[in-house]
Amino acid sequence: MQQKILILDFGSQTTQLIGRRVRELDTFCEIVPYNKFPKDDKSIIGVILSGSPFSVYDKESFKIDLDEIRGKYPILGICYGAQFISYTLGGNVEPAGSREYGRQNLGFIDKSNKLFKGFDDNSQVWMSHGDTITKIPQGFKVIASTESVENAAYYSEKDNIWGVQFHPEVFHSLQGTLLLKNFVVDICGGKQDWSAASFIDTTVAELKSQLGNDKVVLGLSGGVDSSVAAVLLNKAIGKNLTCIFVNNGLLRKNEFTDVLRDYECLGLNVIGVDASEKFYSELAGVEEPEKKRKIIGKGFVDVFNAEAKKIKDVKWLGQGTIYPDRIESLNITGKTIKSHHNVGGLPKDMQLQLCEPLRWLFKDEVRRVGRQLGMPEHLIKRHPFPGPGLGVRILGDITPEKVRVLQDADDIFIRGLKEWKTKDANGNEVSLYDQVWQAGVILLPVKSVGVMGDERTYERAVALRAVTSADAMTADWAHLPYEFLAKVSNDIINKVKGVNRVAYDISSKPPATIEWE
Ligand code: XMP
């Protein structure tokens, strides 16, 4: 049985990060809402209680019956998790004199405690809390302090409980990964056997037994998730998987043919449908972004369904849904809300069941699995690309001519990013493309005056957008070298007919967004 660390989510923004850190230790973990502890799950080897936006004294704060887990598993409380345990078992929690926030150093560390094995003196940690533990419960022991936080970490031998008021999961806690490793491996006995190879073996075996001889249909987008899901399913059921790749006329230059060829090289049974004309005619004259999105979304479903219905006896819909899309998130009232599944518009008469082989993976794990499956690096490292494609990068109405102009400009920018080499933080040679999260060109709905030779021109302006990000929730504009920007600008203006001006977008998200529409 696959061992598992269970993370109880009390609503902190960093709960997912705890999950990712545990997975980086090659240990499987699951994040569940604080009130959904799976009592009968025999695979749990330890429990982590996350932080929370609440104080333990808030009326609406999230509470659990600690006795359900106390003494049964090793427990690690983080921030609110530590305060909640302390408060519940008879300690004191009070508002901190001043909000305890930012980098601090552990001036006292009990290095004989398993949690701090291998720690350096004065190890830096990250604090972020309004309340603080002023007294720990009877029988508990303080195992680390900072100058201003006396009970920075505690331990109860009898209960097998550890609590830390700092956040080991964030980057600024410099030995946070070591602390989590000490908990997961030394204290809970994690075997560190969750790897891409083991995931592939177990998932392929599961898919074989789940699907038997059933047929599966899957929509490919060209992105990493759907591609890896397809290759995994192909490994399990071969020709019983049919993939559908739709050209909505809003893909990047040559993308339809290039990606289709990649898929065929991977041995996938794939149908490419070029529906560009349908999309262009339905989009003609439409300017409003949400309306464009709806038309493109519905158009995809129509084309996909028409193709899927041609396959006889198909029983399953394969999807590249990944773990962060599925984690039940808590809203502030404590009710759990599920992130929506993108299955809207499926024909009811087909009655397809959902098959989501990547449902337990974080994005970086999907990439690891893709590599292990032997997929080409350019597919794995592909930037995210919005479903409506260039449709939300042509501001205003869409015409085939505008798509052509944007595809040409975008192609120069993206190829340039791939060709321009630089060094990463470790001195390794990488391309600019690999250093940014996402990039593209936006076609602006304005014309500007220029001069070419002796001629006055009056042509389109485009904006370049390139951002760095960890998850697209926040993003910064990429600080691309001036020389690179100058070259791209020259190339676009010289080579793309109809463009005479290039701007670079230097807005961060928030308050801007990554896409312009
Ligand atoms: P924003 O513009 O909201 O984008 O900062 C965040 C991420 O989402 C992508 N994006 C979309 N993806 N359908 C998609 O599948 C959409 O309608 C859509 N709009 C934005 C965007 O490219 C970025 O990665």
Which atom of ligand 1 lies closest to the CA of 475? 5
DSSP-assigned states of every residue in 396-452:
S---HHHHHHHHHHHHHHHHHHHH-EEE-TTS-EEEHHHHSSEEEEEEEEEEEEEEE
- Which has the closest alpha carbon to 392: 406, 404, 382? 406
In the sheet where 314-318 sits, what is the strand order?
A: 270-274, 241-247, 215-220, 314-318, 353-355
Structure confidence at residue 454 (pLDDT): 87
Whether 282 is catalytic: no
pLDDT at 340: 43
202/347 same-domain check: yes
110: domain range? 4-187
Q: Out of 169, 307, 365, 517, which one is annotated catalytic? A: 169
* Residue 398 sits in the same domain as residue 361: no
Of 187, 220, 247, which residue is a domain's last? 187
Q: At what angle do helices 482-495 and 400-419 cross, to 10 degrees?
A: 150
Last residue of a domain, one of 156, 187, 218: 187
What is the distance in A from the centroid of ligand 1 to the CA of 328?
A: 21
Calculate mean pLDDT across residues 24-38. Answer: 95
In-domain check, residue 386? no
Residues 176 and 202 placed together within one structural domain of the fold: no
Same domain, 363 and 425: no
509 domain-assigned: no
Task: Please say which residue of 187, 214, 242 terminates a domain.
Answer: 187
Q: Is the pLDDT score of 343 beyond 50?
A: no
Q: Given this model, what pLDDT does residue 331 score?
A: 62
42-53 per-position pLDDT tens digit:
999 999 999 999
Average pLDDT over the chain, rounded to an integer: 94
Q: What is the pLDDT of residue 329?
A: 65
Does the Cβ of 514 fall within 6 Å of ligand 1?
yes
Residue 516 lies in a domain: no
Distance 193 CA to ligand 1 centre (A): 34
Tell me whether residue 12 is in a domain. Answer: yes
| Ligand 1 atom nearest residue 438's Cα | 24
Residues 311, 414 share a domain:
no
| Closest ligand 1 atom, residue 437 Cα | 24
User: Does residue 329 lie in a domain region?
Assistant: yes
Atom of ligand 1 nearest to the CA of 509: 5
CB 276 within 8 A of CB 303: no
Shared domain check, 209 and 357 = yes
Active-site residue flag, 169: yes
First vs last C-alpha separation in the chain: 47
Mean pLDDT of 294-299: 95
Establish whether residue 95 lines the binding site of ligand 1, counting it when its CB lies within 6 angstroms of any ligand atom: no
The verdict on 119 and 257 lying in the same domain is: no
Instruction: Evaluate if residue 176 carries a pLDDT over 60.
Output: yes
pLDDT for 349-382, tens place per residue? 778 999 999 999 998 899 999 999 999 999 999 9
Q: List the CATH number of the domain containing 175.
A: 3.40.50.880
Expressed in angstroms and rounded, the spacing between residue 515 Cα and the centre of ligand 1 is 6
- pLDDT computed for residue 339 by the predictor: 43
Q: What digits encode the pLDDT tens for the residues 310-329?
A: 999 999 999 999 998 887 76
Q: Do 169 and 207 fall within a single domain? A: no
Residues 400, 452, single domain; the answer is yes
Are 95 and 43 spatial neighbours (Cβ–Cβ below 8 Å)?
no
Q: Which of 29, 167, 355, 365 is catalytic?
A: 167
Q: Residue 345: its pLDDT value, please?
A: 53
What pLDDT band is residue 2 in, cutting at 50, 70 and 90?
confident
pLDDT digits (tens, 9 = 90+) for 272-296: 999 999 999 999 999 999 999 999 9
Do 63 and 158 reside in the same domain of the chain?
Answer: yes
Total number of domains constituting the chain? 3
Same domain, yes or no, for 220 and 304?
yes
Look at residue 442 and tell me if it is in a domain.
yes
513 part of a folded domain? no
The verdict on the CB of residue 384 being under 6 Å from ligand 1 is yes
Strands 29-33 and 4-9, how do they pair?
A: parallel
Ligand 1 centroid to Cα of residue 324, in Å, is 15
Beta carbons of 51 and 77 less than 8 angstroms apart:
no
Question: Domain check: are 338 and 486 in the same one?
Answer: no
Lowest mean pLDDT across 97-106, 125-134, 165-174, 386-395 = 97-106
Determine the average pLDDT of the residues in 79-105.
Answer: 92
What is the pTM assigned to this prediction? Answer: 0.85
DSSP string for residues in 139-150: T-EEEEE-SS-S
